[in-house]
Amino acid sequence: MRINFELLDLRAFLAVFDHASFHKAAELLNLSQPALSRRIQALEARLGTPLLERSTRQVAPTAAGRRLEPIARRLLDEFDTSLLSISGIGERQSGQITIASIPTAVVYFLPRVIKHFNLRYPLIRLRVFDRAPQEGLESVMHGEVEFGINMIGSTETDVRFTHLMDDPYVLVCRRDHALAKKRSIAWRDLAGHPLIRIGRPNSGNRALLDGALIKASVRLDWFHEVNNLTTALGLVQAGLGASVLPRLATPHWTQGDIVTKTIRSPEVTRTIGIVERRKGRLSPAAKYFRDMLIADWGGGADHAKA
């Protein structure tokens, strides 16, 4: 049997499904409420079953509506992505994507992906908010950004967390540092050496690293404390100490006298992933950029394991 309907019928259904409100859905789609209702009713008539239960207080999906939701979302996503991939459309596609990223992913990894994205979609602008993990997560949950790159969010029920990589902490030091000549470094080897700590006291990186060191019964001499990555690298370059940083935050090319050394016994890592609202819907451009991040991270993963 052939069922005819318009794509806007599916978009109307998903808008009501996501917002549980005809009023909000109509505003989102720039439709009047009567026009939105007619589209939902037409879709229900064509499918031969109610999709939404309406009351004076709320709108909720029926069992059929819950079954239709993932199918409709997949159909629309595939349609939008296919349009973007057709030759010539990408070059004419315009708009703006807004994301939030932890600062340690912004400096070295993200620019490479943005460059590739701009070559394919030169008219799409990108806004990147570099924010601490909790602030970035809240930006996603509040709808301020379309998605985020973060190290937290996997336990949030309203957020979808897509694992990208496990990022180990490494030692960053000058080539003339005593530890730079060692073939293998354990955490206990750092004891007695002046170290540069990065991050605010309540930052996610510091909490993760401190917890791991306490568990391993290792006490380190944090001689200097700074808030940002460039300051830490500057102090290392000046020979004022070594620093412990996520590998993702370190240069993946030779930078003057700075080298990185893997620390083992134990290896301490953080998990990096993409966070997005579970009930949200990315714009076609944002979805393509997210997919490009996932595909391109293979290079980042190789770098992280080097």
- The pLDDT tens digits for 22-40 are 888 888 788 899 999 999 9
**Residue 120: C-alpha distances to residues 28, 176, 290 (Å):** 29, 43, 14
What average pLDDT does this structure show over 15-22?
Answer: 88
- Mean pLDDT score across all residues of the chain: 83
Integer Cα distance of 263 and 167 in angstroms: 12
Question: If pLDDT is split at 50, 70 and 90, which confidence band does 63 have?
Answer: very high
Q: Where in the chain is the domain with CATH 1.10.10.10?
A: 7-85
Question: pTM of the full predicted structure?
Answer: 0.65
What average pLDDT does this structure show over 12-23?
Answer: 88
Beta-strand relationship, 124-130 and 222-226:
unpaired
Integer Cα distance of 218 and 293 in angstroms: 36
**Residue 176: C-alpha distances to residues 179, 181, 219 (Å):** 8, 8, 24
- DSSP code for 144: S
| H or E stretch at 298 | helix 284-305
- pLDDT score at 302: 38
Residue 107 has pLDDT above 80, yes or no: no
What average pLDDT does this structure show over 111-125?
Answer: 86
- pLDDT score at 119: 84
What average pLDDT does this structure show over 144-163?
Answer: 89
The residue behind tokens 């600062």 is: 103
Integer Cα distance of 181 and 186 in angstroms: 13
Residue 204 has pLDDT above 80, yes or no: no
Integer Cα distance of 258 and 180 in angstroms: 9
Question: If pLDDT is split at 50, 70 and 90, which confidence band does 92 have?
Answer: low
- Cα angle for residues 33, 286, 90 (degrees, 5° grid): 105
Residue 4 main-chain phi, psi, to 5 deg = -100, 130
- 56 vs 52, more confident: 52
**Tens digits of per-residue pLDDT, 275-303?**
999 877 788 788 889 988 888 775 444 33
User: Which CATH number is associated with domain 7-85?
Assistant: 1.10.10.10
Three-state DSSP state, 245: strand
Question: If pLDDT is split at 50, 70 and 90, which confidence band does 202 have?
Answer: low
**Tens digits of per-residue pLDDT, 210-252?**
887 887 788 888 899 998 888 988 999 999 999 998 888 887 6
**Tens digits of per-residue pLDDT, 183-200?**
889 988 998 899 999 877
Integer Cα distance of 104 and 198 in angstroms: 11
- pLDDT score at 82: 66
The secondary structure of 16-69, three-state, reads HHHHCCHHHHHHHHCCCHHHHHHHHHHHHHHHCCCCEEECCCCEEECHHHHHHH
Question: If pLDDT is split at 50, 70 and 90, which confidence band does 81 have?
Answer: low
What average pLDDT does this structure show over 72-85?
Answer: 72
Q: Where in the chain is the domain with CATH 3.40.190.10?
A: 90-165+271-305, 167-270
User: Which CATH number is associated with domain 167-270?
Assistant: 3.40.190.10
Domain 90-165+271-305 CATH (choose: 3.40.50.300, 2.60.120.10, 3.40.190.10, 3.40.50.10260): 3.40.190.10
